[in-house]
Amino acid sequence: MIALSLAELGRLVGGELHDADPGAEVTGPAFLDTRTPEAGGLFVAFVGERADGHDHAAAAVAAGAVAVLGTRPTGVPTVVVPDAQQALQQLAREVLVRRRDLAAPLTVVAVTGSQGKTSAKDLLAHVLAGHAPTVATAGSFNNELGLPLTVLRLTGETRFLVLEMGARGLGHLTELCAIAPPDVALVLNVGKAHLGEFGSQQNIARAKGEIVAALDPATGTAVLNADDPLVTAMDERAPGAATRRFGRGDDADVRLEDVRLDDVGRPGFDLVADGVREHVQLRLLGAHQATNAAAAAAVALAAGLGLPEVAAGLRAVEHLSRWRMELAERADGLVVVNDAYNANPDSMRSAVETLAGIGARSGRRTVAVLGEMRELGPDAEAEHRAVGALAARLGVDVVVVVGEGAAGTAAALHEAGHPATHQVRGVAEASAWLRENVGGPDVVLVKASRSGRLEQVAQTLLEDVAPTAGARGEEPRS
């Protein structure tokens, strides 16, 4: 973080100092969890339903924090404010203004989309970090708390700030962009994630387009998916701003060509931009990562990099944020694809297609462990049934459906005459069944919304020894 004295910090957020030296400087990032303290940082105390951060203030200071930002004195150096969240956001806004006032250039990139935004953000951050100091959102820490915490990791040397932005309603991205106005805005797609909260895809498009509307018309750049009509229409939200498109169509400024998958589903492809062609072989799993890579390339080019160095950066990426199409192999040859961080209809379809493709190319038996997709509103039943129908149509060998919320998936599989569908109540039952019925060289996909905690299933499989002889040949009970 750009160093601030407690006196300056208090003035910026309208707070009062208690038990504090006004000249003491905060030099490290802000943080919320005393289990992951930041030396020289600022501990932000919130009052939650189950815990009160103020009760942990002394521990935070003992662990290296310079002070606490909270709503009451704590007995250790504290900046007391009426509202900790508003103060955190105001502090991030002011720190970003101070960083922009420095002579060194800074480019702020905002990334959003219904699916793939964390993967695209990770790819982009890796590419940019190979060029100059870069700060990026950790994981999916992309909301009204995560974004200001990311901004506060800025230093005077930071050249690129990459901010993933999530929205659960209209106006959310406008609020986030007011904290950190973007220079480049990337919109990946408009899908059906959080459809229950938005009400329609048109409303999702309106919400995602708010980051385009936040661009400075004179200096901003919108990077849009040329293959998604709801996204391409967003160029109208920022008249005057530059636009760069990515995708497979002829109208794409960064064009994706000749996408091919290896035996385990890692894409290789050509990127074509400004008359230059570069071949990229990703180490990541899933054809959809080619599109995410094209999006990252389009942003990096808009930020001033050349296509050869962008392609080199993409080739070097070994992994993304955890539980996103993570590929791991057990000692007996069992392959586990852990995509359990989140799920929506589009990402679920991509994951099932990837699994089926691995089976078709490698001859491995395919096992899909599928849980509930949350926040789909009245379309939930139909969307879960669509997943089951897809798995049956693509010939996934075994499907384990986890939880009552995914019952529509099982129903569609049964109706399609799928020969190996097994429905279980939860994580423990799924793990127990898989422990006895899968082994090398099977490939197992684990996929559900975050609340399903199916990553525990993947972890259990990878920790287990190989099943007893003959176990994997047992067909699941329907």
Enumerate the β-bridge partners of residue 243. 222
For strand 326-329 and strand 335-339, is the pairing parallel, antiparallel, or unpaired?
antiparallel
Q: Which carries the bigger pLDDT value, residue 414 or residue 473?
A: 414
Q: What is the mean pLDDT of the segment spanning 275-296?
A: 95
Q: Which carries the bigger pLDDT value, residue 365 or residue 167?
A: 365
151, 92 Cβ separation under 8 angstroms? yes
Q: Which carries the bigger pLDDT value, residue 140 or residue 58?
A: 58
Q: Report the pLDDT value the prediction gives residue 468, as an integer from 0 to 100.
A: 38
Question: pLDDT (tens digit, 9 = 90+) per residue, 66-90?
Answer: 999 999 999 999 999 999 999 999 9
Three-state SS for 199?
Answer: coil
* Nearest by Cα to 366 from 345, 335, 390: 335
- Select from 2.60.40.790, 3.40.1190.10, 3.30.420.40, 3.40.1390.10 the CATH code of 4-82: 3.40.1390.10
Burial of 143 (0-12, 13-18, 19+ CB in 10 A): middle
Specify the CATH number of the domain 102-315.
Answer: 3.40.1190.10
Q: Could you tell me the two tokens for 381?
A: 């039943």
Measure Cα distances from 24 to 3, 9, 77, 340 in Å: 10, 10, 10, 43
DSSP string, 350-373: HHHHHHHHHHHHH---EEEEE-PP
Average pLDDT of every residue of the chain? 93
Q: Where are the beta strands (DSSP E) in 283-439?
A: 326-329, 335-339, 366-370, 398-402, 421-424
Domain positions in the chain = 4-82, 102-315, 326-473
Question: pLDDT (tens digit, 9 = 90+) per residue, 193-250?
Answer: 667 777 788 999 999 999 999 999 999 999 999 999 999 999 999 889 999 999 999 9
Asked if pLDDT for residue 30 goes beyond 90, the answer is yes
Asked if pLDDT for residue 402 goes beyond 60, the answer is yes
Q: Could you tell me the two tokens for 236?
A: 């109208």
Question: How far, in Å, CA of 91 to CA of 85, rounded?
Answer: 10
Asked if pLDDT for residue 182 goes beyond 60, the answer is yes
Question: pLDDT (tens digit, 9 = 90+) per residue, 431-474?
Answer: 999 999 999 999 999 999 988 999 999 999 998 654 433 334 34
* Nearest by Cα to 357 from 331, 391, 330: 391
Asked whether the CA dihedral 18, 19, 24, 29 is positive or negative, the reply is negative
What is the DSSP-derived secondary structure letter of residue 344? -
* Nearest by Cα to 401 from 51, 266, 389: 389
Helices and strands per DSSP (H, E), number in the chain: 17, 22
Same topology, domains 102-315 and 326-473? Answer is: no
Question: pLDDT (tens digit, 9 = 90+) per residue, 93-148?
Answer: 999 999 999 999 999 999 999 888 999 999 999 999 999 999 999 877 899 999 99
Enumerate the β-bridge partners of residue 237. none
Give CA 439 to chain center in angstroms: 30
ω into residue 441 within 30 of 0, thus cis? yes
Q: Report the pLDDT value the prediction gives residue 467, as an integer from 0 to 100.
A: 44
Asked if pLDDT for residue 285 goes beyond 80, the answer is yes
164, 140 Cβ separation under 8 angstroms? yes
Burial of 386 (0-12, 13-18, 19+ CB in 10 A): middle
DSSP string, 147-198: HHHHHTT--TT--EEEEE---SSTTHHHHHHHHS--SEEEE----STTHHHH
Least confidently predicted of 154-158, 351-355, 474-478: 474-478
Largest CA distance in the chain: 72
Q: According to the CATH classification, is domain 326-473 in 3.90.190.20? A: yes
Residue type, 82: P
